[in-house]
Amino acid sequence: MSYRAEVSRANPSGIIFLVDQSGSMEDPWGGGEQKRKADGLADAINRLLQNLVIKCSKEEGVRDYYHVAVLGYGDKVRLGLGGSSTERELVPISFIANNPIRVEERVRKVSDGAGGLVEEKVKFPVWFDPLANGGTPMCEAISTAARICSDWVSQHRTSFPPTVINITDGEATDGDPSVPASNLRNVASEDGNALLFNIHISSQKGNPVEYPDSEELLPDQFARLLFRMSSILPDHIRSAGVQQGYSLTERSRGFVFNADMVSLITFLDIGTRPSNLR
């Protein structure tokens, strides 16, 4: 396990999001969230894409440190990015920056400097819209991601390996996802194997189980399956998690069960950090 390759315009890295869009994503998010799981997840993906654009922005423009794909899976597996990118899979981050579906005006609360909060209008670019329909073809989605990763690695042999983040609220309806998950993790560049991280979100209230290093605290066979499917955290990601206050070991995996909005956003941020961005 290396994961030390420099991430640069000449040697970019790939990030693929697999987003559950099954009918159950119509349900409200657990833990007191008022919005649908589909809506909350779409907001989180769009916020992360905006943060990636900002991270890659320099004086001369947006540098293509990352190529990104979003695949939704529900009634079918589909490319999830809108705008002009719908016919492409992994697209450069500069292309994403210049091609949102739309830019919405949102309201957020900020400090007024005197201990209170005031509302502030902000621009919110949207690349990914919520959808909730059909079953959960997770096996097909992971297999598609494995094929994209393999194609990517064949053209970027020395790159930081692709990172795949699968976000779901239920079990696969098209078979055992551990088989395609193993195939995906076996795709490798010279810097290491592709990373597969899994996030489970729920309609039920409950504390999240974050970055476990064993199956002992997981409540059921489905959670244990997702744990086994998940990659062990590379050193640089584990270090980022420790800096965020998590207690992690060398066996901790990129997996959160029963994630709330806060743990989802934190996971997305930590999981997409390269070891060496230049």
pLDDT in tens, the chain (278 residues): 689 999 999 999 999 999 999 999 999 887 555 689 999 999 999 999 999 999 999 988 999 999 999 999 999 999 988 766 556 789 999 999 999 999 999 877 666 677 777 778 889 999 999 999 999 999 999 999 999 999 999 999 999 999 999 999 989 999 999 999 999 999 999 999 999 999 999 877 778 899 999 999 898 999 999 999 999 999 999 999 999 999 999 999 999 999 988 889 999 988 887 766 66
* Token reading at 202: 């729920």
Amino acid letter at 53?
Answer: V
Amino acid letter at 32?
Answer: G
Distance CA 234, CA 232 (A): 6
3-class state of residue 166 by DSSP: strand
Tell me the C-alpha to C-alpha distance, in Å, between residue 267 and each of 4, 6, 42, 84, 275: 20, 22, 15, 28, 16
Rg, Å, the chain Cα set: 18
The pTM for the full model equals 0.92
pLDDT at 60: 87
pLDDT at 271: 87
Tell me the C-alpha to C-alpha distance, in Å, between residue 101 and each of 43, 173, 263: 14, 30, 27
DSSP designation for 32: T
Provide the CA 233 distance to its chain's centre, in angstroms.
14
pLDDT at 200: 94
What domains can be seen in the chain, in order of their start residue? 13-271 (3.40.50.410)
Distance CA 24, CA 20 (A): 9
* Token reading at 60: 């001369």
pLDDT at 85: 56
pLDDT at 111: 66
pLDDT at 194: 97
- Helices 221-229, 178-185: axis angle to 10 degrees equals 20
The per-residue b/e assignment along 15-44, b for 16 or more CB within 10 angstroms, e otherwise, is bbbbbbbbebbbbebbbebeebbbbbbbbb
